[in-house]
Structures are given as structure tokens and as C-alpha cells.
Amino acid sequence: MLKQIYEKIKQYDTIVIARHIGVDPDALGSQFALKTAINIAFPEKKVFAVGTKSSRYNYFPKLDKYENKINDNVLLIVVDTPDKKRIDISNLDTFVNACKIDHHPFVEKLGELEYIDVNSSSASELVLRFLVENKMIINTEIAEYLYYGIVSDTNRFLFNTTPDTFKIVEWLTRTYNIDIEKIYRNLYARPFSEVRFQGYISENMTLTENGFAYVIISNDTLFKYGVDSSSAGNMVNNYNNIDEVIVWATVSEDAKNNQYKFNIRSRGPIINQVAEKYNGGGHKLASGARVNTLEEVQSLLNDLDDVCKNYNREENNKLLNERE
Ligand code: AMP
């Protein structure tokens, strides 16, 4: 499949690379690594990396503007996004030719060529496989984009990290002169307002008897702490490995879109199926959703608590069976 995608790229003069809304370093890393590598391999092609910009990630290059009109000589490559509704692009329907490179569980087909590996750490790891498989030139710039993606999506090699991830990262860091300290500084530097805000989240989390912890953050609170609705999502991983908590969620009011944004994490119960019920999705243990009303917020919170309850019951049954 990786070779077929490469052959497809060869056929088109213009390549547009898109990724998901609610951008993160893996989406950007895979996007820019692919763009730069195609630029080097095929200097005559026009390559666009598109999507909404985010000042949080201004250590990545500027995104490109691209207005598509139905055009048969354009190839759309979507990275890190399993479903059409989450692709950060306008006029998706005008793209006739599309392929996908992704590590999310399959949601829907986009084009005839799709390379999906849910066991991969990140979309960046898959792009790296793509470049290696097709013997494309990798330079330090590309290697750094990929390193950003792999490190951030694995939360510094904590999640979805296999021996293959270490192998490929070992090779990447040994072969290219990656400035690891710069990368970690860019990824983890944060304003003091976010540290204070994290204090607010910790103080205000509700913990249920089933091991579900959550906090609802109003727009007023975001304003008071001087942070935006994406800030809670960026610190949700900090609540892992708490003895009493097996699933946790931040629910942030997004006043601009009149919605509530869920960032959900688990260290046991499968949560993406619950998120999907609310038009969300994601990985088994890291998911998200957006809902419109406080009733839906409460309903999703209840469902997540139920998932914890069932999980605890099953785990207890397993223990009892082992003892018998
Ligand atoms: P986040 O909490 O934003 O880091 O997202 C965790 C995972 O859930 C990622 O794989 C996202 O792609 C996915 N995700 C987040 N929000 C949504 C949503 N509204 N719909 C579908 N998937 C989502």
C-alpha cells in the first residue's frame, strides 16, 4: 500500500495534504514531513499543507492556503484522520482523488488507497515508514517533524509504544542531527496561566465511586484563568496514573461554537465507543467528542461512569474466577 500511494503521488502535479481539526503536533508533524519529503523528491510538483493555524504550534511552518475547484489533477492526502467530518479542509467534496495515512480505528473510507495501522504510535511513525519504504530523502528538518509527532502522540513513549517505535526512533535520532532539547522545550513550554489553571482542574475534579473523574469548565473560568477551550485538552494526559481514577474527562465550554468539548482518557475501560455515541471518536483509551447542550454533557458523563462501573464489575469477576 505504501508503494501504491507513492505511485499515486507521482501521477499528480498538485498534492494537498490535510489533517484533523483540533490540530496537534502529530497531525502537523506528519503533514509537514510528508510535504517536505515530496518537495525534495518532486521539486516540480506543487504541495500544499492545509488547515486552520494554531499559535500554540508556531514552531511548525505556516500552513498553506489552497482553494480547490473540481480538478482531476489534484491528489488529496489525509493524515491522522479517520472520518470525513474531522478533516480540516474546505470543499472536501471537490477532491476527486484522495488517499489516507492514519493510525486511528477505521471509521469510513475516503479513497481507494488507505494505509491504516491502529497499532502504530502515531501518524508520524506511519509517514516515516512511507518515506523509508519508498527510499525518499529524509533530512534533519523532516526527522524533527516526525520526532515531534511521535513523542507527543505517545506522550513521551508512554502510550502505543512498541519495540518497532523504539527501533525506528533509535534509527531516526542516530541518523539525523535532531535537536531533542529544542523539541521538548517547544512541546512542553507553557504559560504560567496554564499551570494555575491546572490547579483549578485538580481542585475541582469530581470523582465518582466507580473511578471516573471529570471537571466541567465554564467559559467564565477559562476567561478568569486567561486560557482557551483547548487548554484543558492539552493537560488531560497529566491525570493519568492516579490510583482512584480509571477514566477521566475534561469538559470545556467552547462559547465560540456554542458547544462543550470532551477530552477523555482511560487506563482500562474502552471509551471510544461511548464517544462515538455522541458523534465523537478516537482511540480505545484516548477519545473526544463535542456536544451541544448541558443535558448531553450529563448524559455522556453518565455513560462514562457506567463504563467504569461495568469494567470494575468485570475485573472483580475475573479476580474471583482466578481465586476459585
Ligand atoms: P484529544 O483529547 O483532542 O487529544 O483527542 C483524543 C483522540 O480523540 C484523538 O485521536 C482525536 O482524533 C479524537 N477526537 C477528539 N475529539 C473528537 C471528536 N469530536 N470526534 C471524533 N474524534 C475525536
Three-state SS for 259? Answer: strand
Distance CA 320, CA 146 (A): 45
The CATH architecture assigned to 192-323 reads: Roll (3.10)
46 lines ligand 1 (CB under 6 A): no
Question: How crowded is residue 133: how many other Cβ atoms within 10 Å of its Cβ?
Answer: 14
Residue 59 — pLDDT band, cuts 50, 70, 90? very high
**What is the CATH number that goes with domain 2-187?**
3.90.1640.10
What are 12-49's pLDDT values in tens digits?
999 999 999 989 999 999 999 999 999 999 999 999 99
286 lines ligand 1 (CB under 6 A): yes
What are 192-216's pLDDT values in tens digits?
999 999 999 999 999 999 999 999 9
- What mean pLDDT do residues 92-105 have? 92
Q: Is the pLDDT of residue 72 over 80?
A: no
Query: Which of 56, 84, 86 to probe ligand 1 with, by most ligand atoms within 8 A of CB?
Result: 86
Q: Is the pLDDT of residue 299 over 80?
A: yes
Distance between Cα 44 and ligand 1 center (Å): 36
Distance CA 317, CA 163 (A): 32
What are 167-189's pLDDT values in tens digits?
999 999 999 999 999 999 999 99
Q: Is the pLDDT of residue 158 over 80?
A: yes
Q: Do 221 and 200 contact (CB within 8 A), yes or no?
A: yes
Q: Do 27 and 123 contact (CB within 8 A), yes or no?
A: yes
Average model confidence (pLDDT) for the chain? Answer: 94
Instruction: Give me the percent of the chain exceeding a pLDDT of 70.
Output: 99
Residue 324 — pLDDT band, cuts 50, 70, 90? confident
Distance between Cα 318 and ligand 1 center (Å): 31
Residue 82 — pLDDT band, cuts 50, 70, 90? very high
Closest approach atom of ligand 1 to CA 287: 8
pLDDT for 90 equals: 87
- What mean pLDDT do residues 38-62 have? 94
pLDDT for 170 equals: 94
122 lines ligand 1 (CB under 6 A): no
Pairing assessment for the beta strands 14-18 and 74-79 based on DSSP bridges? parallel
Q: What is the dihedral of CA 176, 180, 182, 186, to 10 degrees?
A: 110
Cell numbers given for 238: 497529566
Q: Is the pLDDT of residue 124 over 90?
A: yes
pLDDT for 67 equals: 84
- What mean pLDDT do residues 285-294 have? 96
pLDDT for 229 equals: 80
Distance between Cα 310 and ligand 1 center (Å): 23
Return the domain boundaries, the chain.
2-187, 192-323
